[in-house]
Amino acid sequence: MNAPLTRSLDARYYTDPAIFTQEIQGLLARTWQFAGHVAQVREPGDYFAFTIADQNLFCIRGRDGEIRTFYNVCQHRAHEMVTGAGNTRVVVCPYHAWTYELSGQLRAGPNIKSVPGFNRSEICLTSVRTEVFNGFIFVNLDDDAAAMDDWYPGVREQIRAFVPHIDDLEPLEWVEISENCNWKVSIENYSECYHCPTNHPTFAEGVVKPETYDIQPDPSGGYVLRHTTECQSLDKMTYPIDMSVPHAGDYQSWFLWPMFSFQCYPGNVLNTYHWRAIDADHCTVWRGWYTEGGSESAVIRQLAVQDRETTVEEDIHLVESVHRGLKSRGYRPGPLVLDPGCGVMSEHSIARLQQWMREAIDT
């Protein structure tokens, strides 16, 4: 007797605004989310503001060298503390000039000494759980969340094996992509290559060998999908690589549920994806490209342009079409293609992703 088919998620998981609200209040508020790179807060007082799960936050490096994240709100009367990025000796609220140390502790405020019983040592900006993962800053709004190494066991070390110079890397270029689709549609598209031979000729013919592509839950467990493949023969590669370096001929990608991926292109080239959910129908994707010290590189610039004009552009049309289709009255979730032999033409990774998606909503 054949096993029952595994069908894709109902359309409501992607299109229902109430489910998106659930995700903002639940899943996205209790998972590790990318904030930025340590190069953005190199010196004491360096800071940058950003948003996670509809919460305005900012990262700042303290005088002790520690990188901290705070909710971007004054404890006096709720004005936002900072915008954009910059450097400051102390953090001053623009509304009433309440002043905080880089550690978040209240330092001073106009006329506060006149208030009987006022104890400034009891007032501090509200902190957010923060970890630095191979130079990348992640935050979690859940103070009780397990550490990143528990969520993504072994990944920190695996990435270092493929990108041994990762500590020297800094962002060279961010490519921002707006997509008219639910964030999960974009994540799913990224997490399978069933569509690659048909839709991504440059990637499939000039970067990797699609017949060797496979995406599986990482064998070490956790919330990780690992992409593995081989690079094309050197005469077909769209950029030069030095095959004398370990793993130079390999492609690996580590997708960290729910919204970040490290990619190592052939030639030990690090690049990343990270997503931000805007509403049920829109998301933004960023592609990050890195070099040692953020130094200029014609090869990396060319790769970023090639990627944006080919794979990324092709994916925009795919995910937006899928999102429109999910709103069709005629859509009935079909069975996933789960080839027992796995490989590029299987959707095992989508089955696992949709399991995580279902658990995040239904539990």
What is residue 297's predicted lDDT score, i.e. its pLDDT?
93
Please name the residue that has the structure tokens 């006149």.
114
pLDDT (tens digit per residue) in 42-93? 999 999 999 999 999 999 999 999 999 999 999 999 999 999 999 999 999 9
Q: Residue 312 pLDDT more than 60?
A: yes
Q: Where in the chain are the domains? A: 33-140, 162-362
**Cis, bond preceding 258 (omega within 30 deg of 0):** yes
What is residue 337's predicted lDDT score, i.e. its pLDDT?
87
pTM confidence score: 0.93
The two counts, helices (H) then strands (E), for the chain are 10, 17
C-alpha torsion sign, points 300, 213, 155, 350: positive
Joined tokens for residue 233: 């023969």
pLDDT (tens digit per residue) in 142-174? 999 999 999 999 999 999 999 999 999 999 999
What is residue 338's predicted lDDT score, i.e. its pLDDT?
84
What is residue 80's predicted lDDT score, i.e. its pLDDT?
98
Q: Residue 206 pLDDT more than 60?
A: no
What is residue 363's predicted lDDT score, i.e. its pLDDT?
73
Q: Among 44-53, 201-210, 276-285, which is the least confidently predicted range?
A: 201-210
| The CATH number of the domain covering residues in 162-362 | 3.90.380.10
pLDDT (tens digit per residue) in 25-41? 999 999 999 999 999 99
**Cα 110 to Cα 104: distance, rounded to the nearest angstrom:** 18
pLDDT (tens digit per residue) in 320-360? 999 999 999 999 999 998 888 777 778 889 999 999 999 99
**CATH homologous superfamily, domain 33-140:** Rieske [2Fe-2S] iron-sulphur domain (2.102.10.10)
What is residue 240's predicted lDDT score, i.e. its pLDDT?
65
What is residue 326's predicted lDDT score, i.e. its pLDDT?
98
pLDDT (tens digit per residue) in 209-265? 767 778 888 777 799 999 887 765 656 666 666 666 667 677 889 999 999 999 998
> From the CB of residue 87, how many other CB atoms can be counted at a distance below 10 Å?
13
